[in-house]
Amino acid sequence: MSDENTNLGDAFAEGELETIIANLREKFTIKDRTHGFPRKNYPKSFVGREAVSVIVSEGLANSREDAVQLGDMLLNEGVFQHVMKEHSFKDEKLYYRFKEDQDHGETAKDFEGNPVSWADFLAPFSGNPATRSLQPNIPERDPDLANFAADELDACGVEPLDEHNIKLLDNTHPREWIDPEPDGKYNLVVIGAGAGGLVTAAGAAGVGAKVALIESHLLGGDCLNVGCVPSKALISAARVAATARRAGEFGVNTGEVTVDFAKVMERLRKLRANISPVDSADRFSKELGVDVFIGRGKFTGPDTVEVNGKTLKFAKAVVATGGSAAVPPIEGLAEAPYLTNGNIFNLTELPARLGIIGAGPIGMELAQCFQRFGSEVSVFSRRDGILPKEDPEAAKIVEDSMRRDGVNFILNSTYRKIISDGPGNPITVVYEQAGTEHTIEFDAILVATGRKPNVEGMGLEKVEVEYDKRNGIKVDDNLRTTNSRIFAVGDVASKYQFTHMADFMARIVIRNSLFFGRDKFSDLLIPWATYTDPEVAHVGLYEADLKEQEIEYETFTKTFEHLDRAILEGETEGFVKIHVEKGSDKILGATIVGSHAGDMISEISVAIKAGMGLGTLAGVIHPYPTIAEAIRQSGDLYSRTRLTPMVQKIFNRLTALQRA
């Protein structure tokens, strides 16, 4: 890059570089040092690790990583020299000298002999794993939830009894199931066969434990029967309908698009039935070796549970009874033929006018689906927006998209009463908005006001397990209840009500209950997604959490409006928003809103879990063109902030020398 008579100092006017070097010489600890065996003397040397600390404290770099890069630049230009073998400048106990203190006049090179470049300066680096919990605050359960009715799963029938639902029932609640005879003490008795209970039972049996599993209604719980699986079947059908209606924008002529709702629902029932063997009573009994009991389990003593008149003795027990749709005490609602997630998937006819009470994830996913199927949908919310736990900017993008679909939002509203003359008749909702009372008629009402933990009727009081009807069972960070022999997982014990959350809580319980583990719930990194169109996905802390915890942070946002794949797909509304700890690239949280947000968020989750910083993601090659490029480009935004004014000036001079 330069001959022996040209160095970095030549590019600086009025001795700028000399001033920097003199300052460093004054601050560095320069002395004779010894190393190795036999001991060898290295005169007038300084230590790389100590030099990095000085560079940062003097404000020449924002971080130790930046200081290493600056040191490498000075090393390359011959300001610093190695005293042992050649290598790059490192934040380690390695020795260096200033040029004027060296024994030889040659210019030192880096370990590859290459000049410094942008690629080197912005090279990705790894951060350290999170030391604080990155679980965000989300809206607490409704303060009045204890007064809400529980629309329990086993109170909702499975209809219609076609071949698909019969297959589902044969797998998840066989008509003539014969309970096994309890034989001795179980290592683990699990009450509830939703996601948390199934994973607990299967995992414990897989490591040799003797396990009993008790389910009162349908194995698979909410997720399989009335949650994730059927709702995503509806969402996929609704998305196809919406895409067909937009086909003209792409030059594809489809004509008028209509939806055969009966076929949509039949497809749902078929796919759900096809998935159900994985959660079946036969599989858990015959393949996994779990004793399966179908009935209501109830604690009867310090180490016993009764089910169907049989007593099961246990060393440890797990409560995994989940939650149920919570029905608010609105005047007249109990007498109306309302829907919840527990029975809406039984529909075979599309309601012409659908009212939805609640603007959380369940309500929003189903609102968009039914609007796209052809219903006139109105959503009531007591707040001024939707999806209250999400980033407000992301929620607004979803709301705007749903409005374009035709969904009507009645925000900041208070429910007064419901008027109904029984099945088949219109249902009238009386509500107040801005001090004025209004009425609106529907053919069906969906209640989506949250979930209530299933804690009653199990004899928890008898075994001194503390709980309340609003928050569920009280557990410590190891998921142990107030009875040290009993644990709890899933919706019955957590405000993070996701299937994947119950799954990983179950893994903690297996280790802690059977192997004396001390795994902590607070260590779990929890991503989630709402499957509206566009989707919203999140992991880690929200901006509100960072402010509340007084964590200094920076936010890097990459919108989709200039992202090639988004432009080509016609889906330019969306963004990737990543929060990092100020002064480093440590990722503290991220939100993505876009058509593939639920898939994309895992890349950031992996990065956080592995201790990879946003700078590292900038160096990950993504296929072109993809929406996920926005994650890498967010890393680029971060990388551009790493140059301090002084380092930028030095680098500009270096590049000028290269052109000389």
Q: Which of 301-310, 581-590, 648-657 has the lowest mean pLDDT?
A: 648-657
CB atoms inside a 10 Å sphere around CB 547: 11
- DSSP lists the bridge partners of residue 94 as none
pLDDT for the residue numbered 126: 33
Let me know the angle formed at the C-alpha of 445 by 444 and 449, rounded to the nearest 5 degrees. Answer: 160
Q: By C-alpha distance, which of 219, 232, 208 is closest to 365? A: 232
Residue-wise pLDDT for 287-304, tens only, equals: 999 999 999 999 999 999
Dump the DSSP string for 172-217: HS-TT--PPPP-SEEEEEEE--SHHHHHHHHHHHHTT--EEEEESS
The pair of three-digit structure tokens given for residue 541, joined into one six-digit string: 């802390």
Highest-scoring range by mean pLDDT, 62-71, 250-259, 403-412: 403-412
Greatest Cα pair distance, the chain, in angstroms, is: 100
513/9 Cα distance (integer angstroms) = 66
614/243 Cα distance (integer angstroms) = 34
Please tell me the CATH code under which domain 8-121 is placed. Answer: 1.10.10.10
Q: Which of 92-101, 512-521, 608-617 has the lowest mean pLDDT?
A: 92-101
Cβ burial 36-71 (10 Å sphere, 16+ → b, else e): eeeeeebebbbbbeebbebbbeeebbbbebbbbbbb
pLDDT for the residue numbered 85: 67
Provide the percentage of residues in the chain whose pLDDT is more than 70: 90
Exposure of 373 in the CB half-sphere (CA atoms within 13 A): 27
Considering the segment(s) 165-174+187-325+452-515 as one domain, its CATH architecture is: 3-Layer(bba) Sandwich (3.50)
Confidence of residue 286 (pLDDT cuts 50, 70, 90): very high
287/284 Cα distance (integer angstroms) = 6
Confidence of residue 635 (pLDDT cuts 50, 70, 90): very high
Dump the DSSP string for 435-497: TEEEEEEESEEEE-S-EEE--TTS-GGGGT--EETTTEE---TTSB-SSTTEEE-GGGT-S--
More confident position, 642 or 97: 97
Q: By C-alpha distance, which of 324, 329, 326, 340 is closest to 415? A: 329
Residue-wise pLDDT for 588-630, tens only, equals: 999 999 999 999 999 999 999 999 999 999 999 999 999 999 9
Residue that has been written with the tokens 């609007």 in this structure: 371
Distances (CA, A) of 448 to 495, 500, 530, 644: 16, 21, 14, 51
Exposure of 443 in the CB half-sphere (CA atoms within 13 A): 12
578/543 Cα distance (integer angstroms) = 10
pLDDT for the residue numbered 311: 97
Confidence of residue 37 (pLDDT cuts 50, 70, 90): low
At position 584, the amino acid (one-letter code) is: S
Helix (H, G, I), strand (E, B) or coil at 644: coil
559/337 Cα distance (integer angstroms) = 44
pLDDT for the residue numbered 5: 36
Strands 408-410 and 376-380: parallel
Tell me if the domain spanning 542-639 has CATH number 3.30.390.30.
yes
Specify whether the backbone of 211 is left (phi greater than 0), alpha (psi in -120 to 50) or beta: beta
Helix axes 16-27, 645-659, angle to 10 degrees: 130
Q: Which of 25-39, 46-60, 320-334, 516-530 has the lowest mean pLDDT?
A: 25-39
Q: What residue ranges do the domains of the chain occupy?
A: 8-121, 165-174+187-325+452-515, 327-449, 542-639
The pair of three-digit structure tokens given for residue 434, joined into one six-digit string: 């801005």
pLDDT for the residue numbered 36: 63
State the sign of the Cα–Cα–Cα–Cα dihedral 49, 51, 54, 60. negative
Residue-wise pLDDT for 105-161, tens only, equals: 332 333 344 443 333 333 333 333 445 789 998 887 777 777 777 765 445 689 999
- The pTM of this model reads 0.80
Residue that has been written with the tokens 């019969």 in this structure: 166
Inter-residue contact 74 to 35 (CB < 8 Å): no
Query: Given a cut of 80, is residue 659 above it in pLDDT?
Result: no
pLDDT for the residue numbered 6: 40
Q: What is the CA radius of gyration of the chain?
A: 31
Considering the segment(s) 327-449 as one domain, its CATH architecture is: 3-Layer(bba) Sandwich (3.50)
Confidence of residue 39 (pLDDT cuts 50, 70, 90): low
pLDDT for the residue numbered 643: 66
248/605 Cα distance (integer angstroms) = 37
Q: Which of 40-44, 134-138, 332-336 has the lowest mean pLDDT?
A: 40-44
638/656 Cα distance (integer angstroms) = 25
Residue-wise pLDDT for 416-437, tens only, equals: 999 998 888 999 999 999 999 9
Asked if 8-121 and 542-639 have one fold, the answer is no
Confidence of residue 83 (pLDDT cuts 50, 70, 90): confident
Burial class (CB in 10 A: 0-12, 13-18, 19+), 132: exposed
Element holding 387 (H helix, E strand): none
Element holding 637 (H helix, E strand): helix 629-639
Inter-residue contact 489 to 188 (CB < 8 Å): no
Q: Count of residues for the chain?
A: 660
pLDDT for the residue numbered 650: 72
More confident position, 3 or 192: 192
Question: In sequence order, which residues have a C-beta less than 8 Å from that of residue 591 and are 6 or more positions away?
Answer: 390, 391, 394, 536, 537, 538, 542, 576, 577
Query: Given a cut of 90, is residue 530 above it in pLDDT?
Result: yes
